[in-house]
């Protein structure tokens, strides 16, 4: 899974299928989009149902955390949701930012954009919009938003450095992000790293925890902090689709860990240029 365009096309295809699938199927089974031999896209997700603004039909159970809980969204803020899917985090954020604020969702899957726009229209929301776009090249001007959120999406982006550089660019000085993502401690077996389905399932594209945080710091963000962390266990029956019994045993004995983290970081109030000389 080394070619960036092939990776993006895989993600579009898989998440396009999920957009047209019954959310209940995604939430209650291990069936993914191709039957019970594939990765479960919902095993990482958090329960949003108790949050104000929650829209059940927009919750496809595709997240791995709850970034809105740590995003510090204030009334009147402009919030950007990267990989907004059917709109779950965007609709919760909209309640926090209020009528005087704005929420912009960006997703590169057309069917997800169609679905989120349908939800926004049915709810009669005027200050929530969804744009088709690439996280590595966001369709927004610089210094545009106060808060960036994202829920289990950046691990799907081929270049995390480009993604965080774009986050830095679109944030206003003094703005911040809250991102939930999947990271690793230890090495995944080659069978997992090279499996396209495991990439689309947010595992094979995950970075080492230390490398992920290193990119955040290198981009120029300050006061970087992990707000939540939990280990994720992938069921043996899923892993056995990619390795034999001996391989599974070796993987479990390797002490490799797959983790969901929610991390926050701030763009300095007087920041205009990132460490690479890219300026607002």
pTM above 0.85, yes or no: yes
Identify the weakest region by mean pLDDT among 53-62, 160-169, 250-259: 250-259
Of the candidates 92, 99, 43, which has an alpha carbon nearest to the alpha carbon of residue 70? 92
Average pLDDT rounded to a whole number, residues 19-44: 52
pLDDT for res 234? 81
Asked if residue 279 has pLDDT above 70, the reply is: no
pLDDT digits (tens, 9 = 90+) for 59-112: 998 888 999 999 999 999 999 999 999 999 999 999 999 999 999 999 999 999
Residue entry with tokens 């957009």: 19
**Between the ranges 20-24, 148-152, 194-198, where is the mean pLDDT highest?**
148-152
Asked if residue 124 has pLDDT above 70, the reply is: yes
Which positions ≥6 away from 274 have C-beta within 8 Å? 165, 168, 169, 219, 220
Find the DSSP H helices in the chain.
4-19, 23-28, 88-97, 110-123, 160-170, 190-193, 196-200, 209-219, 236-239, 245-253
pLDDT for res 34? 44
pLDDT digits (tens, 9 = 90+) for 197-215: 565 556 767 889 999 999 9
pLDDT for res 240? 86
Q: Kindly state the DSSP code that residue 78 receives in the 8-state scheme.
A: E
pLDDT digits (tens, 9 = 90+) for 241-261: 888 899 889 888 888 888 999
pLDDT for res 30? 36
Of the candidates 214, 159, 150, which has an alpha carbon nearest to the alpha carbon of residue 182? 150
The mean pLDDT value of the chain amounts to 86
């Amino acid at each position: 899974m080394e070619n960036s365009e092939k990776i993006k096309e895989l993600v579009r295809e898989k998440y396009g299928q999920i957009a047209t699938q019954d959310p209940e199927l995604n939430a209650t089974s291990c069936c993914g989009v191709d039957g019970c031999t594939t990765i479960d896209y919902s095993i990482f997700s958090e329960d949003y149902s108790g949050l104000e603004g929650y829209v059940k039909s927009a919750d496809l159970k595709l997240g791995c955390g709850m970034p809105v809980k740590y995003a510090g969204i204030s009334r009147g803020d402009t919030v950007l949701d990267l990989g907004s899917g059917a709109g779950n985090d965007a609709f919760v954020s909209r309640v926090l930012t209020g009528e005087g604020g704005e929420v912009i969702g960006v997703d590169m899957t057309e069917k997800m954009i169609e679905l989120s726009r349908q939800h926004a229209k049915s709810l009669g929301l005027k200050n929530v919009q969804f744009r088709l776009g690439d996280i590595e090249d966001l369709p927004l001007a610089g210094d545009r938003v106060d808060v960036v959120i994202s829920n289990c999406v950046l691990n799907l982006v081929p270049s995390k450095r480009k993604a965080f550089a774009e986050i830095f660019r679109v944030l206003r000085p003094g703005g911040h992000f809250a991102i939930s993502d999947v990271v690793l401690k230890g090495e995944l077996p080659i069978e997992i790293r090279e499996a396209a389905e495991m990439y689309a399932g947010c595992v094979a594209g995950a970075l080492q925890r230390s490398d992920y945080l290193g990119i955040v710091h290198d981009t120029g963000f300050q006061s970087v902090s992990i707000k939540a962390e939990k280990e994720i266990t992938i069921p043996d029956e899923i892993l056995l689709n990619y390795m034999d019994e001996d391989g599974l045993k070796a993987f479990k004995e390797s002490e490799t860990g797959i983790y969901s983290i929610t991390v926050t970081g701030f763009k300095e109030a007087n920041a205009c240029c990132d460490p690479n000389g890219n300026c607002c």
